[in-house]
Structure formats: structure tokens, C-alpha cells
């Protein structure tokens, strides 16, 4: 009986090794040749230091539209310890497309929540977080913002969104991590 | 074009008085006349050799008009004076001659007709006739085209026989890469001097009659790599010829340049100076009362043309150097100020206006009380205040206080809103632009998502011309003692789209306990208004003593 158990055990070990491969050979192989996980940079506003924070993520999706949805979801609900959202909570991406380097984002009406965009510099940093992030995800040069398919023109009584927005070069360079 | 004939430049002929044609002369027929860049249909013409054309409006582009009282042609000169044609010295030589060396004007059935070859000779033009098409074209001959290497790139220089009525157009094209200049009102001739020496990215120069109706000669520079091109100006030579210059730069090697500084126009209270240049290399301006110092990004490629300066706010314009960098010193007849604007076609435009000795009576300020109506702006109810604070209420209160101060000092003031109404940002900007206001001040109260985290003042601007105004306001707002977060360039709608110096002031934080406690006090809001008022006075360099005297 014990002999049959040993034979059965050995057969099971050989079967597992055959099926999943020899661990000492596969591990180095995966370390050497598998592509590194693709990551993209999402920018969050640091409203205490008036600048943007670099936040690197590994997207869960390969589809560009899904990646944008993931980015906008993150921007509306920043992961801890990031304190400030870039777009109003609940904002959803309805559709997106790129033409001639211009990314058009069609967002849900939550985006124009008025009391979110108060304070001119705060509003500017938040909007630039969105611009920096979605241009980082897609490689587009500029971003046109639509809400429910139409241009809101201006938001918050300060900001112009009637034209494609580019990254503001006058902002302080984005940094990794929150200001102390 | 079977019977196309080029009129040769002829010896100036004398007789110019109106004399009858022989009875054998043909009947006049309607012809199409292309005069420089203008087209005239149905002009009576006699298709004799040489051809004659009835006097009419087509003479105007040539600076000519028919004096019916005296029966002769009158030529307007650039100086504003006029002279009769042909010149008396030529009249003697013309006597007794016929044809192209004969009289300039003759009468046919009681109407004066002009001999085209004679006219072309007198006004230094070239003519081409096509009997089959009933078409007569009169244009300015293009004399030469050449390329010259300069520090800023390559200059394509095109010389024409007499000054053009319109500026040439300059463009670049790709696939294949080339830059070209279109010269309106010009005709191609056989004796053009074309220098085809390759230079830098330019492999060859081509020239052709791009359009016959209207007359346009195109000079093309074929290039190896993508290029940018600009019109930098012109030089007028002693013999009456004119040379237009186009700058060509490789797109991958942009460098600062300044074209010909030109007085565009001058009125008693405003003058415009054009400084051709690339948007990415802007000049900067320093207002110094009776002098404006314009720091140029490069030495101008051509000498300035800023005369005559008989009236208007500018006394003289002088190109010199400061710390080995080129500057333009604009001397004013009385204290004034200047602003720079960018125009895609012409480059930078310096607008100069006088302050008339510190009298702000002519200055119009548009005050913009932020938010309003359905847009309350920021709201807060810190424990330090009794009632909730609403941004739209505070901004209107401060704007009205500032209006009162400005009007007492003699300014004209227009408000974008005077009560609790919603005014779209585009309408606020349109109001200021349509009124051609001298300054636009947008008044706001700031807010932060974490109440109490920030306090103090900030001022925003967009265009370089607004920097001085923003700094003047900020400097005075700091006297409130609430601290400051700086003067910043931001593309906020109202400062982005206004064409005059404009600034957006954030006057403390509505949700900071100490700021809020102060903002609820009328005396503090008066202090804010007063600080903004003093900043405006500083910007216009109006002595405060004058304002105190009025008070």
C-alpha cells in the first residue's frame, strides 16, 4: 500500500512539473524576457503647494478608452494619501476620441458642479491635472472638453474651456509625492 | 495671346496737350483693363498702334487723375503734392512726334484718351496687350530677385521698379518644401536679374507670372527642409525702385528676429508702431513717463521707417543698444504709455497713448465684479462672521467703491454689472473690447477647498502688456497686510480675451477665518478698493498728489 502511495505521489509530482514547468528554469526566464508592466502617470493637484503631483499607475486595461475612464475615475476619487480630487466626484467619461493630436473628452454633467471650481488657482490646478493626466495617458497634444456632448464654454466663472486646452508650461514642475 | 506685345520703355516724348486723332482712327471698343491689382471692365480703348484708352477711374491706382478743367493728367506724389504730366521738360521733346513717343493725351469724339506706352513710360510701368482677349494689363516690372545669408536666416530680396500699392503676401508650403512671396500689381519681364546661388536650405529661386488678372508675380524659394517665412520690410532706393525682403528660417532652427520698425499710423491721441517678429520671441516694454523703452529680441534687419512724426503722441523713435542688446527708445511729446499686441499678419504692434499731463479724464476703465446672479462664486460661513459671505456680493461692493474712487479722480468707468445679475464672461470681455477701454480690472474673492489653509491676495494676467498692471495692483494689495501668493500668468477667460491691459485680482480668501472677518467689514472692503485704485494710478503713472488735491 505504501509502495503504491509513493508511486502515485511521484507520478503526481511529475505530472505537476510537466504541466507547470520546472520552476528553477521558468522564473529566471520570466525575469529576463517578460516586458515590464506598462505604467502611466496621473497628475493630481497639490492645492497646498500650488503644483501637480506625479502618481504612477499600472492601468488595468489595454483599451485606450477604458484607460481614460480609469484615469478620470481616479482623478475624481484620489487614492490615499492624495487629498484633492481633480474633477468633481461622480464625473464619468461618456466617450473620447483623438483627431489631429486633439483629444476630445465627453464628460458627464457632474463635471460642471459649480461649487467644485471655486477659487481661481484651485480651479486652474484641477483643470490642469486633468489636462496633464489625459495627455499623459493618450499622448494627445491638447484636450477639448465637452459635457453631455456640448462645450460648457467656461466653468467656475474663471476658466475657459471653449478651446482645446494644452499643458500650462508656467506651472511649477510636477513632483512625486505630497509637499511636507 | 496671339497678338501680345510688350511695350518697350520709350524715350520720353513731348506733346501732351489734347489733339484730335486722324479721321481714319478706329472706333473705341470696350476692353478689360488690369491696372496693378485692380480690374476695370468695359473701358473704351482704341486698338491702334500704339493703343489708347479713355481716361477713367483706372488711373487712380497709378496715383493719377484727369483734370477736366485744364485738360491734363495730374500725378499725386508721396509727399501729398501733385504735378502735371508729362513734366514741362519732356513736353518740348515730344512736339511733332507720333505714336509711342508722341503725345500723352488726345481727344476722340470729345473724350480724352491716354496713350498707354507713353503713360507706362512716364510712371515707370510695363504694359501688355492682348487684342484677341480685349485685355490690357499694366503692372510694375519686377527687376531682380536674390538670396542673402544673414544671422537670422536667409533673406530673399525682390526689387520692383516702383513702390507697390499693397504689401506682398508671404507663405510656406511643404511637399516639396518651399517659401514664396506674391507681389500684387506686378508684371514679369524678360530682363529680370535672377540670382540662383543656393544658400543654406534654399536650392533655387524660381519666378513666374502667378496671376494675370489681377497681376501677381510669384517668387519661389525651393528648400531642402521645412522652413518658416516672414515679410520683414522694404527699402526704397533713390531711383524710385523698391526692394521687398522675406526672411526664411529652417523650422528646426528658429532664432529671434525683428523686421522693419514702421510707424503704421499716428493720430493726435494714439499712434501705432509695427515691429515685425515671431510670436515666440516677443519684445518687452518699459513705460517711463515721457519715454518708452522697448527691448528687442534681435537687431532689426532693416532701418526703422518712422517719419513723418508731425503730430500724435510720438516725438521721435531711436534705435540704440543697452547692455549690448538692441532697444528702441520711443520719446513722447508728453507723459504717456505704450502696450504691445501681437497680430499674426504684421507681428507686434506698439500702441502709444499720451496721459495729457496726468489728466486721467480720457482714460476709460472697465470694472468687472466677478460672478453674479445665478453664479454666486464662492460662499462661506466661518465662525468668525455673523452672516454667510457670498463672493458675488463682495465683488460688487468692492467694484462700486472702486468706481467711486476712480470717478472722483476723473476716470471714466464702465461696470460689467452694477447689480446682482449674471453676465457671461464673453459679454464682459466684449464690452471692454468694444469700448476700447484703457484697462480692465476683474475683482474676485478667493477660496480654498480646505477652509483656513490659505489667505491673502493674488493677481493674475495673461498678455505681456498686462504684467505691469498686475504688478502695480499686487504691490498695492500687499499693503492690506494679509500676505500675498504672487502675480501669476494664467489663461483665465477675462484676462485672456481682453485686448487692453487687464488683470484679475483675488482679494483675500472668503473661507479663511481672519480674511473673512475682515471682508465682512465695509472699512476693509474700502481698503481693498483704495489699494486697487492706487495700483491703477501707479500703472498709468499718474501722480498721487494730483489725486490727493482733488480729494
3-state class percentages of chain A: helix first, strand second, coil last, to nearest 5: 40, 25, 40
Q: Which whole number is the average pLDDT over B258-273? A: 84
Number of H helices, E strands in chain A: 4, 8
Q: Given this model, what pLDDT does residue A127 score?
A: 95
Chain A: residue nearest B446 by CA? A119
Number of residues in chain A: 180
Higher-confidence residue: B301 or B79? B301
Contact criterion met (CB below 8 Å) for B231 and B168: yes
Q: Given this model, what pLDDT does residue B291 score?
A: 85
Residue B21 scores a pLDDT above 50 = no
Of B449, B453, B504, which has the smallest distance from its Cβ to A120's Cβ?
B504
Q: Given this model, what pLDDT does residue A125 score?
A: 94
Number of residues in chain B: 551
Mean pLDDT of chain B: 83
Q: Given this model, what pLDDT does residue A36 score?
A: 53
Residue B469 scores a pLDDT above 60 = yes
- How do residues B402-423 score in pLDDT, each as one tens digit? 999 998 888 889 999 999 999 9
**What stretch of H or E contains B169?**
strand B169-173
- CB-CB neighbors (< 8 A) of B456 in chain A: none
Chain A: closest CA distance from residue B393 (Å): 14
- Out of B79-88, B358-367, B491-500, give the one with best mean pLDDT: B491-500
Q: Which whole number is the average pLDDT over A127-152? A: 94
- pLDDT-derived band at B312 (thresholds 50, 70, 90) equals confident
- Three-state DSSP class for residue B530: helix
Q: Given this model, what pLDDT does residue B416 score?
A: 94
- CB-CB neighbors (< 8 A) of A123 in chain B: none
Q: Given this model, what pLDDT does residue A105 score?
A: 95
Residues 403-442 of B with CB under 8 A from A: 424-426
Q: Given this model, what pLDDT does residue B11 score?
A: 27
> Is residue B29 annotated as a catalytic residue, yes or no?
no
CA–CA gap between residue B491 and residue A128 (Å, rounded):
11
Please determine, for the modelled complex, whether the ipTM score is greater than 0.85. no
- How do residues B426-448 score in pLDDT, each as one tens digit? 899 999 988 888 899 999 999 99
A141 CB-side CA count, 13 A = 5
Higher-confidence residue: A46 or B344? A46
- pLDDT-derived band at B455 (thresholds 50, 70, 90) equals very high
Residue B541 scores a pLDDT above 80 = no
Q: Given this model, what pLDDT does residue B475 score?
A: 95
**Residues 6 or more apart in contact with residue B304 via CB below 8 angstroms:** B260, B261, B262, B317, B319, B328
For the record, the C-alpha cell of B160 comes out as 520692383
CA distances from B457 to A84, A172, B87, B452, B531 (A): 22, 19, 72, 14, 11
Q: Which whole number is the average pLDDT over B242-271? A: 88
Residue B95 scores a pLDDT above 50 = no
Please report, to the nearest 10 degrees, the dihedral formed by the alpha carbons of residues B424, B429, B433, B434 taken in order: 10
- How do residues B328-386 score in pLDDT, each as one tens digit? 999 888 777 787 777 777 888 888 887 654 444 568 999 999 999 988 999 988 777 77
Q: Which whole number is the average pLDDT over B41-63? A: 85
B377 touches chain A (CB under 8 A): yes
- How do residues A21-40 score in pLDDT, each as one tens digit? 444 333 333 344 555 557 88
For the record, the C-alpha cell of B436 comes out as 476700447
Q: Which whole number is the average pLDDT over B386-406? A: 94
Q: Which of B250, B391, B506, B547 is catalytic?
A: B506
Of A121, A154, A157, which has the smallest distance from its Cβ to B377's Cβ?
A157
The region that residue B116 occupies, defined by phi over 0 for left and psi between -120 and 50 for alpha, beta otherwise, is alpha
3-state secondary structure B427-476: HHHHHHHHHCCCEEEEEEEECCCCCCCCCCEEEEECCHHHHHHHHHHHHH
Place of cell 478689360: B32
Question: Of B54-58, B96-100, B353-357, which range is least confident?
Answer: B96-100
Q: Which of B315, B314, B319 is nearest to B329 (CA)?
A: B319
Amino acid at each position: 500500500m505504501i509502495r503504491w502511495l509513493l508511486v502515485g505521489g511521484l507520478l503526481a509530482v511529475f505530472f505537476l512539473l510537466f504541466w507547470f514547468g520546472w520552476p528553477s528554469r521558468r522564473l529566471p526566464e520570466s525575469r529576463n524576457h517578460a516586458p515590464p508592466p506598462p505604467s502611466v502617470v496621473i497628475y493630481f493637484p497639490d492645492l497646498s503647494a500650488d503644483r501637480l503631483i506625479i502618481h504612477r499607475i499600472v492601468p488595468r486595461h489595454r483599451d485606450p478608452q477604458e484607460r481614460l475612464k480609469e484615469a478620470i475615475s481616479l482623478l475624481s476619487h484620489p487614492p490615499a494619501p492624495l487629498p484633492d480630487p481633480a474633477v468633481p466626484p461622480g464625473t464619468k467619461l461618456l466617450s473620447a476620441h483623438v483627431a489631429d493630436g486633439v483629444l476630445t473628452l465627453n464628460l458627464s454633467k457632474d463635471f460642471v458642479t459649480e461649487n467644485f471650481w471655486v477659487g481661481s488657482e484651485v480651479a486652474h490646478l484641477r483643470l490642469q491635472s486633468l489636462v496633464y493626466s489625459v495627455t499623459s495617458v493618450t499622448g494627445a497634444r491638447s484636450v477639448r472638453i465637452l459635457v453631455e456632448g456640448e462645450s460648457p464654454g467656461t466653468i467656475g466663472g474663471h476658466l475657459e474651456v471653449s478651446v482645446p486646452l494644452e499643458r500650462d508650461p508656467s506651472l511649477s514642475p510636477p513632483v512625486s509625492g505630497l509637499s511636507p | 495671346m496671339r497678338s501680345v506685345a510688350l511695350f518697350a520703355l520709350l524715350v520720353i516724348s513731348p506733346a501732351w496737350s489734347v489733339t484730335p486723332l486722324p479721321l481714319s482712327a478706329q472706333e473705341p471698343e470696350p476692353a478689360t483693363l488690369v491696372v496693378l491689382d485692380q480690374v476695370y471692365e468695359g473701358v473704351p480703348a482704341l486698338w491702334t498702334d500704339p493703343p489708347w484708352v479713355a481716361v477713367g477711374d483706372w488711373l487712380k491706382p497709378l496715383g493719377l487723375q484727369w483734370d477736366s478743367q485744364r485738360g491734363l493728367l495730374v500725378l499725386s506724389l508721396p509727399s501729398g503734392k501733385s504735378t502735371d504730366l508729362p513734366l514741362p521738360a519732356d513736353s518740348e521733346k515730344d512736339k511733332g512726334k507720333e505714336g509711342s513717343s508722341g503725345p500723352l493725351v488726345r481727344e476722340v469724339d470729345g473724350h480724352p484718351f491716354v496713350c498707354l506706352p507713353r503713360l507706362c513710360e512716364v510712371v515707370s510701368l510695363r504694359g501688355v496687350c492682348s487684342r484677341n482677349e480685349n485685355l490690357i494689363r499694366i503692372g510694375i516690372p519686377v527687376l531682380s530677385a536674390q538670396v542673402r545669408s544673414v544671422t537670422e536666416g536667409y533673406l530673399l530680396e525682390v526689387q520692383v521698379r516702383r513702390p507697390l500699392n499693397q504689401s506682398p503676401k508671404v507663405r510656406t508650403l511643404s511637399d516639396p518644401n518651399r517659401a514664396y512671396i506674391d507681389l500684387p500689381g506686378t508684371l514679369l519681364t524678360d530682363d529680370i536679374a535672377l540670382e540662383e546661388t543656393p544658400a543654406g536650405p534654399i536650392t533655387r529661386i524660381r519666378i513666374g507670372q502667378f496671376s494675370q488678372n489681377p497681376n501677381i508675380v510669384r517668387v519661389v524659394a525651393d528648400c531642402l527642409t521645412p522652413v518658416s517665412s516672414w515679410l520683414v520690410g522694404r527699402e526704397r532706393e533713390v531711383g524710385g525702385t523698391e526692394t521687398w525682403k522675406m526672411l526664411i528660417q529652417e523650422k528646426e532652427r528658429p532664432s529671434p528676429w525683428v523686421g522693419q520698425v514702421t510707424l503704421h499710423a499716428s493720430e493726435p491721441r494714439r499712434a501705432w508702431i509695427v515691429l515685425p517678429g515671431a510670436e515666440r520671441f516677443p519684445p518687452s516694454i518699459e513705460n517711463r513717463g515721457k519715454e518708452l523703452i522697448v527691448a528687442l529680441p534681435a537687431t532689426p534687419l532693416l532701418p526703422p521707417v518712422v517719419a513723418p512724426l508731425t503730430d500724435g503722441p510720438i516725438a521721435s523713435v531711436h534705435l540704440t543698444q543697452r547692455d549690448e542688446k538692441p532697444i528702441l527708445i520711443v520719446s513722447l511729446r508728453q507723459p504717456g504709455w505704450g502696450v504691445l499686441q501681437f497680430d499674426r499678419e504684421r507681428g507686434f504692434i506698439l500702441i502709444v497713448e499720451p496721459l495729457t499731463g496726468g489728466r486721467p479724464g480720457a482714460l476709460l476703465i472697465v470694472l468687472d465684479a466677478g460672478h453674479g446672479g445665478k453664479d454666486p462664486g464662492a460662499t462661506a460661513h466661518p465662525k468668525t462672521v455673523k452672516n454667510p459671505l457670498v463672493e458675488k456680493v463682495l465683488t460688487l461692493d468692492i467694484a462700486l467703491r472702486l468706481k467711486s474712487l476712480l470717478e472722483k479722480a476723473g476716470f471714466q468707468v464702465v461696470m460689467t454689472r452694477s447689480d446682482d445679475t449674471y453676465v457671461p464672461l464673453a459679454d464682459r470681455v466684449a464690452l471692454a473690447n468694444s469700448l476700447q477701454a484703457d484697462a480692465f480690472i476683474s475683482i474676485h474673492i478667493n477660496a480654498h477647498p480646505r477652509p483656513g489653509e490659505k489667505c491673502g491676495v493674488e493677481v493674475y494676467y495673461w498678455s505681456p502688456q498686462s504684467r505691469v498692471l498686475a504688478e502695480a495692483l499686487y504691490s498695492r494689495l500687499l499693503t492690506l497686510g494679509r500676505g500675498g501668493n504672487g502675480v501669476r500668468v494664467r489663461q483665465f477667460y477675462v484676462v485672456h480675451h481682453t485686448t487692453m491691459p487687464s488683470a484679475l485680482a483675488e482679494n483675500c480668501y472668503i473661507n479663511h477665518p481672519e480674511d473673512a472677518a475682515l471682508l465682512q467689514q465695509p472699512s476693509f472692503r474700502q481698503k481693498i478698493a483704495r489699494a486697487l485704485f492706487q495700483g491703477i494710478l501707479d500703472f498709468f503713472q499718474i501722480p498721487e498728489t494730483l489725486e490727493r488735491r482733488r480729494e
